Structure 1
Amino acid sequence: MSYEAIRLDIDTSSRVATITLNRPDKLNSFTRAMHQELNDALGQVEASGARALVLTGAGRGFCAGQDLADLDFTPGAMTDLGELIDAHFNPLIRRLQALPLPVIAAVNGTAAGAGANLALACDLVLAARSANFIQAFVKIGLVPDSGGTWFLPQRVGMARALGLAITGDKLSAEKAENWGLIWQAVDDTELAATASKLAAQLAQQPTRAIAAIKQAMRAGATQTLDQQLDLERDLQRQLGASHDYAEGVQAFVEKRAPRFEGR
């Protein structure tokens, strides 16, 4: 399938997929059509057997959130934002979080509104030093969505989360790294190469174990210790029967690098 609002590249040799949001003239802001294309592309990534995914943006920005031009502001017929979120943004965030492979956001330039929270929904966030994150919702009288009110307090604490959400101020990539909001800020010229290198590295790791780590870490935010201990036990039991566990142990015994297959 050919796309207009995104680009999809799947490198079969490295087993790394890259999705590029591709509306640079609109700072890659979301339309319904873009959501549909992205949903289809994620399906292709899963079906391809890719073992790592990079999500980035074309041009001078990562994603500016919702394209307001795609909404109806006619009195009496205004777009139901709850319906829009339920149909598009929430399924996207849930799908990214549940993907059984590592997802890296490579944030170039502005990540605003739902675009900022789209990045935070990825497993690891790399950002160019010139990039910034903006919880811009308050500037048009809205609340952070796409998981913003969940990701922010968990990562930076309530005081900073409220500050970001209530002021709508820009947060630089370097401060985002210092606060623990993202994994790493890198020089602008190194962003693409750093993301590609990290994705290639992760694609060689035990993919099932990474998926289980994602599941367990996220469950820990809402579970009791007893529940979490049981989940760890269950996941460890499953992984203990996997090919990659056997390979990892054998490689350790033989003092060689493991050859994981993601199964």
Structure 2
Amino acid sequence: MASLDDIKTIGVIGAGQMGNGIAHVIALAGYDVRLLDVSEQALEKALVQIGKNLDRQLKKDMISQAEKDAALAHITTGVEYTFLSDCNLVIEAATENEEVKKQIFKSLCPVLGEEAIIATNTSSISVTRLASYTDRPSKFMGMHFMNPVPLMKLVELIRGIATDETTYRIIHELTKKLGKDTASAEDFPAFIVNRILLPMINEAVYTLYEGVGNVQSIDTALRLGANHPMGPLQLADFIGLDTCLSIMHVLHDGLADTKYRPCPLLVKYVEAGWLGRKVGRGFYDYSGDEPVPTR
């Protein structure tokens, strides 16, 4: 693949929160999107969510009705990998689990044209190692979108050790075309955003664990004292405590420094299944009209 002009159809693997957001911004930019998931139900749910998010942008006059209709018309869904055979680029946005991603790449590579590029939306796993599970390490790189994808301006671009210059340039230009800004990161555990953000969240959980402050006071302190738009525990609930924990494990294992040790309280919450907003309970209980701190 020589240039951005060669990219016409983009595959997205995984119809969850990140995958449907990525499909949304790509479709809005005028590309055909093939959204793949193992579950028909997840795909139906994703299309409903994309429709709601486009409606929200429409209400705020960020897009027109015609742009919304065109974006929805650009998205098709499927459950078989052969559905992605004509894609020039495929972005993997499955769960943050290396074994799952490895199996995806093993299934994906045989159906793709040899010029097609593969990108991963991993937030912390080694891009070089993920590339080694494919048949095209030079045409593989990290493209880490932020959540919620339609609103957040940043995409972290991560080259693996084998990523070639053309692949990087095409993805860089594409990211700009999607209306996003880029930050280039080296392939070290958790890259830039999560390397800085997750230890802060983990430290907030330690502050709670050690009784320095309760949930309310910790979040208020960071919102009003550091001008953060949301407190670190509220943000942890938004990200998902299981995701936070898995990124802390990647940092701890990959850098072997005790400062990245996951807080035992974070581990306990995940063991309890209190994973945050997506299950209705984390550091806050979301069952009522207003979130209520659980500690």
TM-score, L = length of structure 2 = 0.26
> Larger RCO: Structure 1 or Structure 2 (Cα < 8 Å, ≥ 6 residues apart)?
1
TM-score, L = length of structure 1 = 0.28
